[in-house]
Amino acid sequence: MPKLHICGEALIDFVPFQGADGQSGYAPKPGGSPYNAAKAAARAGADVSFLGAISTDFFGDQLKSHLEESGVYCDALPRCKHPTTLAFVDLTSGDPRYAFYNNETSTANMAPNPAMIDVGPGDILDVGSISLIDLPGADNITNFAVAMSDRMMVSIDPNARPGMIQDWPAWHRRIAQLLEIASIIKLSVEDLKIIAPHQTEEQFARNHLAKSAGLVVITDGSEGATGYTDAAVHNTKPPEIVLADTVGAGDTLMGSALAWILSQGLSDADAIRGLNEDGLSSLLEFATSAAAINCQSIGCNPPTRSEIEAFIAANR
């Protein structure tokens, strides 16, 4: 069975809470966009290997253990002495805002090596998020993805964090380079405004479908997700839920979408490019349902495949 290899940050989110005594504080939770996507994909049934560097500090031990509990293969991930990236989450405005502490961390110093991967037919390498911001790790990951792109499909979720980006021209060049080689692209409407502010969603999608991409998915919160292939365009809105928070919703959607693609045996960009209306509908229903389930609990807690299927059946 094809595998999903995910390379990116693993960090600790400090999520606000209020104790029984009325005092507020922050609870540490495993997180990071690629890290969350790895959990989501594994729980949704994919064979997943995490390649992002994880610190040897006690936060790193927790991160690795949590991945393994979700069924993610961790034997190939590098451990390093640099400290774990930390992120504090603010939920007062409704949508999560983050304050990242990433100087000289395991994320900023990531150095993936092609020897880490035993590539098989139909395998996917997924990259993205804050691991593509700080040097030298950002350039190392980009070069790694480019080197692997002739051996496997590459997927990207930019998950832009404007508050962290210091060198905008370098970041844009990096993202553009990855978009040029990606078979699967997922981004939010907020990402699109930063990456291609003068393009509509459809213009952006058609531009990249004419290059290497077989699938472009653009998410828009409660408006759902729109998928574009050469064969079809389809939008799926998630069902109404009792919202706890949206932390990890996009990551869960991404990981679940990649798990669905692998489960269908879509082994290259041409096969994905041929997804018709029915295929796109099934893909987006699966991925948006997973994200909706995640949003019913605090923090990122992706559902299992059986939970996704039961949710879909209950909401049809």
Largest CA distance in the chain: 58
Which positions ≥6 away from 8 have C-beta within 8 Å? 32, 33, 34, 35, 52, 107, 126, 127, 128, 129, 131, 132, 141
pTM assigned to the model: 0.95
Q: Is a pLDDT exceeding 80 seen at residue 49?
A: yes
The string of pLDDT tens digits covering residues 185-244 is 999 999 999 999 999 999 999 999 999 999 999 999 889 999 999 999 999 998 889 988
What pLDDT does residue 90 have?
84
φ, ψ of residue 276 to 5 degrees: the values are: -90, -170
Alpha-helix runs per DSSP H in the chain: 33-43, 58-69, 137-148, 168-181, 189-195, 201-209, 249-263, 269-273, 277-294, 305-314
Task: Summarize the confidence of residues 93-97 as an average pLDDT.
Answer: 74
Model confidence at 277, in pLDDT bands (50, 70, 90)? very high
What pLDDT does residue 240 have?
87
**Which of 14-28, 158-172, 178-192, 264-278 has the least mean pLDDT?**
14-28
Model confidence at 245, in pLDDT bands (50, 70, 90)? confident
| Greater pLDDT, 83 or 13 | 83
DSSP, res 132: G
Domains belonging to the chain, first-starting first, are 4-314 (3.40.1190.20)
Q: Is a pLDDT exceeding 80 seen at residue 94?
A: no
Give the rounded percent of residues in the chain with a pLDDT score beyond 90: 84
Task: Summarize the confidence of residues 74-89 as an average pLDDT.
Answer: 93
Q: Order across the sheet with 124-128: list the strands.
A: 48-50, 4-7, 124-128, 153-157, 184-188, 215-219, 225-228, 233-236
DSSP annotation string for 230-299: SS-EEEEPPPP------TTHHHHHHHHHHHHHHHTT--SHHHHHT--HHHHHHHHHHHHHHHHHHTTSSS
Would you state the torsion angle of the CA atoms of residues 192, 304, 89, 176, taken in this order, to the nearest 10 degrees?
-30
| Average pLDDT of the chain to the nearest whole number | 94
The string of pLDDT tens digits covering residues 111-129 is 999 988 999 999 999 999 9
Q: Is a pLDDT exceeding 90 seen at residue 258?
A: yes
